[in-house]
Structure 1
Amino acid sequence: MTLRILHYADVENAYDDASGIGRLAGLIKELRDEETIICGSGDNTGPGVLSVVTKGRQALDFFEAVDPDAETFGNHDFDHGPEHLLKLVDESPQPWVCANAFRNGDRFAGTQGAVPWTIIEAGNTRVGIIGVAHPETVGINPYAGDVEFTDPVPAVEEGISTLSGRGVDRLIVLSHLGDDTDLARAVDADVILGGHDHDRLVDCVAGTLVCRPGGNGRFVLEVSFEGEAPTATHHSVADGPPDTEVATALRNRAEAAGLMDVVGTAETPVVCDMMASKRGESRLGNLVTDAFRTTADADIAVFAAGGFRRRPPFEGTVTAFDLVGVMPFDRELVSLRVDGETLCDVFRQLALAHFDDAPHWFFGHVSGASIVWDDVANELRSAHVNGGPIESTKQYDIATTEFLVENDTLFPAFRPDDVVEAYGLVYEVLVEYVRTVGLNPRLEGRIQRPTLDPETVPDRDWPFSPE
């Protein structure tokens, strides 16, 4: 028999499709044999609706079904903070392998069994596996907190040196770096199994096979060592046999969390595409900011451009699952008290004018105010709160997300010291608002952009935009 590796990575939101994860598990089970190694390259616990409500524990249903041999850390595995990830590591059936993650000077999750590298026996073959996470994980995901990620190249080099001295036949790297070109040129491994980048890949770099399965659980990557050099093949999960136990377990988690409860009815479809998220006023943006402002009893609510996840439109009966899907964020709604001068700065920052590389048409969302923005001059022409002019010394209460206060790049005007009160998780706020008020948001001219040239704005965002 021939050594084979079955590889998955960046499963992410696929957990929100129970039948799809069932097929992913079923396909892996169908393809494996006694000389097959199963492994993952990170971002296999989140993000997604089920991930945010279970703190990533929905991944355990998949892990327990396929019983992987090794897993490394991706940036989204830290979405709920290091402590929740430590619990997942402790409860997962597979060893977690990462050579470049440390906390307080010790190997991250070492107490829970994580190791920098490991040896797996597959038939008569001894396979050494080294894992590395992205060195900028904390910058990508601030929820990684105080975990330190070092340069992956020397970490892999040390692993290869150690494993080579232990008589391994093959050397495999599990990487969540995205682009593995530099790593492949720097180290002498047989295969680098990548993640982070969601595009499928099969390449040979400096004699090393570099490959990725692609994102969202759509493909399983098979690496075969039959022949002189390893080869890689992608298998479509859509063709996989369903594992009904996994699918049922995920559906049960959704039911237990109340996600399948119908909370409202959309008589007119509410589009949840890129335009609704990023162009400024939209029915979706008005719905969310109205929920924020009402819950916090604030003067104004604001939300960032791009703050929503794109999903199919809300139409007909809408469940809690549907609503959480556009905002699956594990952060709280907060209110801040600021003066009128600061409030005008907040309105200017809705335009992302301070970002040099943001598309010119990006704009955030607002409730309780009306804004006129000049896209040619890149300036705020006017702004009113509840129909009246803004007074520079008057105090105003703004409702927004905890993340936008902690992140000092999107709204630099926000300061943590300005926070007055917290009101619960943002997705719970949205669900309760729709349950109480209903689902009939309207466009009201809250954000007017008289100089924006519509010809310079894309008009469709496949697949969730109307034709």
Structure 2
Amino acid sequence: MPRLLHYSDIENVYDDPERTGCLSGCVQSLSGDDALICGTGDTTSPGVLALVERGRQSLDFFRAVDADLDTFGNHDFDYGPEATRGVVADSPQTWVSANVYDDNGDRFAPTHVVPYTVREVNGARVGFTGVTDPATPSLNPMAGELTFTDPYAAAEEAIDHLRDEGVDYVVILSHLGGGDDELAARVDADVILGGHVHSERHEYVEETLLLRPGANGHVVFEVELSDEEGADSRTKTRATATRHETADAPVDEALAEMLRGRVEAAELNDVVATVNDPLDRTEETVFGGECAIGNFVADAYRWSMETDVGLQNSGGIRNGPPLSGEVTIADLVSVIPFEEHVVVAELTGEELTAVFRECAAATVDFGEPHWWQGHLSGVELVWDDDREAVVSARVGGEPVAPDSTYTVATSDYVLHTDHEFPTIEAHHRAAEGDIQYEVLADYAREVGITSETDGRIQRLSETAADD
């Protein structure tokens, strides 16, 4: 029976050559003539090496595993469409995308990207299509000139073509995140290989197998497309999947060494501060409420622009090893690996209070309902989780006055997107500063990095207390 090997959202795995070697070694150890190797977006960026190499460091990995298929995630456009076209043209896999178009209405990179494709493997014809979150231009300003059409209609059309070609199985490469449930309900597919959301998923919806391997290359799913008949002798049995942790795999030393050379060539090893107690930046910490790494970033923003408030979206702090010991510029790039400026927004007190509410609101489709979405500086905030309400908010030690004006230092992304902190819009822009990681480096040199929290965000919950 045909097999699929699935990874997704590997993002900053390239910054750790050993871990990339494990990911490659895992895929290679599972590969074979009966297997197709599939990515589902955010396989080129973000990360330290991605920023330096404009995503082209991913080519080393794609070639090492001899990748077969991939689709686009929002971060695959981090350096603009032209850089993405270059990576696509030089990569070994077929890029499958049914809903991404250029600004002139043509399909994106039509020479190298197809809306659907058929692969014959182990005696079966497997049809593939791919779809990307239509909110990508809002999530990633560098994709603003592209058009992302309705992914469900695009998938339905592509699958109609695949069925007409007599495929035995239909597989969707999806970077829709939470949209995969609707996709499973609306289209006739055997498997949806998903991404975008960084939590793992392995379940069936409408008899369709839905998978997400999580982020940063820790897990690979091995899918078996069954060729056996079901109990009623009219349908195939459902596809199944096995989870593999890449840390247990043999290391692809050739790939690891290649990436070590790229890391050394990046010359980002200047030490800017020393941290005695590690600053954790796991998903649980960053999205759990106030944390040291979030405070550090928000404090650096406020310090650099001399504003009333500093604000960092939780999703912008990338997961990775804790900051510990000698902290380098490369370490700080890995925390926020984007070429975005810190900007100043001017908000009324009423608008600022709305932003505080949005720190707890699941306004993004790649988050979990309980996640805390923002980190703050210059603020004392008390939030009631049960009532989903601000209990009290103070800026500079004083209660927030609805009619007063406050300055907020944040990333340019926040002014661009309507998926996080939608209260803040482009018209609120008042000034622009340096690139985010440069601000972090300057602050670390001048002020340092502390591992302590100070209670600036308090989350109250009677439910939690009862538990």
C-alpha contact (below 8 Å) 1:346/1:411 kept by paired residues: no
Cα distance change of structure 1 residues 138 and 415 upon mapping to structure 2, 3 Å threshold: closer
Q: Contact between 1:349 and 1:411, CA under 8 Å: does it hold in 2?
A: no
Whole-Å separation in 1 of the counterparts to 2:161 and 2:215: 31
Provide the residue aligned with 1:201 in structure 2.
Answer: 202
1:401 matched to 2:411? The reply is yes
Cα drift, residue 269 of structure 1: 4.2
- What corresponds to 1:304 in structure 2? 312
CA 353–3 in structure 1, closer or farther in 2 if over 3 Å, else same: closer
Query: Are the structure 2 counterparts of residues 145 and 433 from structure 1 closer, same or farther at C-alpha, using a change threshold of 3 Å?
Result: same
- What letter matches 2:30 in structure 1? L
Match of 2:366 in 1: none
- Contact 2:48 2:333 (C-alpha < 8 Å) held by counterparts: yes
Q: 2:440 aligns with which of 425, 430, 438?
A: 430
In structure 1, the partner of 2:421 is 410
The residue that corresponds to 2:332 in the other structure is: 323
- Give yes or no for the alignment of 1:128 onto 2:127: yes
Q: How far off its partner does 1:436 sit?
A: 5.0
Taking the aligned partners of 1:448 and 1:382, their CA distance within structure 2 comes to 11
Match of residue 366, structure 1, among 377, 388, 395: 377
Task: Evaluate the alpha carbon distance shift between residue 426 and residue 213 of structure 1 in structure 2; reply closer, same or farther with a 3 A threshold.
Answer: closer
* Inter-CA distance 361–436: structure 2 relative to 1 (3 Å threshold): closer
Alignment partner, residue 266 of structure 1: 275
Could you tell me which residue of structure 2 aligns to residue 104 of structure 1? 103
> Amino acid of the residue matched to residue 427 of structure 1?
Y
Residue type of the alignment partner of 2:81:
P
Is residue 345–residue 413 contact of structure 1 (8 Å, CA) maintained in 2? no
More moved, 173-182 vs 54-63: 173-182
Aligned to 2:266: 257
Aligned-partner residue type, residue 351 of structure 1? F
Deviates more, 1:232-241 or 1:149-158: 149-158
Residue matched to 2:35: 36
| Worse-superposed segment, 269-278 or 215-224 | 269-278
Q: CA deviation at 1:242?
A: 1.0
Decide which of 343, 346, 358 is 1:334's aligned counterpart: 343
**Cross-structure match for 2:231:** none
The 3 A distance-change label for structure 1 pair 456 and 313 is: farther
TM-fit CA distance, 1:174: 1.9
Other-structure match for 2:59 = 60
Tell me, yes or no, if the aligned pair for 1:86 and 1:112 is still in contact at 8 Å: no
**Runs (5+) with no aligned partner, structure 2:** 229-236, 363-368
- Please tell me the residue identity of whatever aligns with 1:245: A
1:23 maps to what in 2?
22
Residue 357 of structure 2, aligned match among 346, 349, 352: 352
Distance 1:457 1:262, change over 3 A: farther
| Most deviating of 151-160 and 17-26 | 151-160
2:356 aligned partner, one-letter code: A
Counterparts in 2 of 1:332 and 1:126: CA distance versus 1, 3 Å: same
Residue 242 of structure 1 pairs with residue 255 of structure 2: no
Which is higher, the Rg of structure 1 or of structure 2? 1
Quick one: structure 1 residues 350 and 363, their matched pair in 2 at CA, closer, same or farther if it must change by over 3 Å?
Answer: farther
C-alpha contact (below 8 Å) 1:50/1:56 kept by paired residues: yes
Structure 2 vs 1, CA of residues 439 and 457 (structure 1 numbering), >3 Å: closer, same or farther?
A: farther
- Map of 2:301 onto structure 1: 292
SS in 2 for 1:30: helix
Counterparts in 2 of 1:191 and 1:276: CA distance versus 1, 3 Å? closer
User: Does the CA contact (< 8 Å) of 1:332 and 1:423 recur in 2?
Assistant: yes
CA distance in 2, matches of 1:67, 1:107: 29
Q: 1:424 to 1:268 in 2, by over 3 A?
A: same
Asked if 1 retains the 8 angstrom alpha-carbon contact of 2:287 and 2:371, the reply is no
Is the 8 Å Cα contact of residues 63 and 92 (structure 2) preserved in structure 1? yes
CA 1:19/1:374 → structure 2, altered by over 3 Å: closer, same or farther?
Answer: closer
Residues 127, 170 of structure 2: 8 Å contact kept: yes
C-alpha contact 1:304 1:410 (8 A) present in aligned 2: no
Instruction: Give the structure 1 partner of residue 77 of structure 2.
Output: 78
Distance 1:432 1:161, change over 3 A: same
Counterpart AA for 1:16 = D
C-alpha displacement of 1:95: 1.6
Q: Does 1:160 align with 2:159?
A: yes
What's the CA shift for 1:40?
Answer: 1.5
Kindly indicate whether the alpha-carbon contact (under 8 Å) linking 2:349 and 2:406 is maintained by their aligned counterparts in 1.
no
Contact 2:61 2:255 in 1 (8 A): yes
Q: CA deviation at 1:343?
A: 6.1
CA RMSD of aligned residues (A): 4.0
Deviations 1:286-343 (A, max 9, x none): 54345335544x354512363534555433222223322332333112346x5xxx46
> Percent same amino acid among aligned pairs?
39
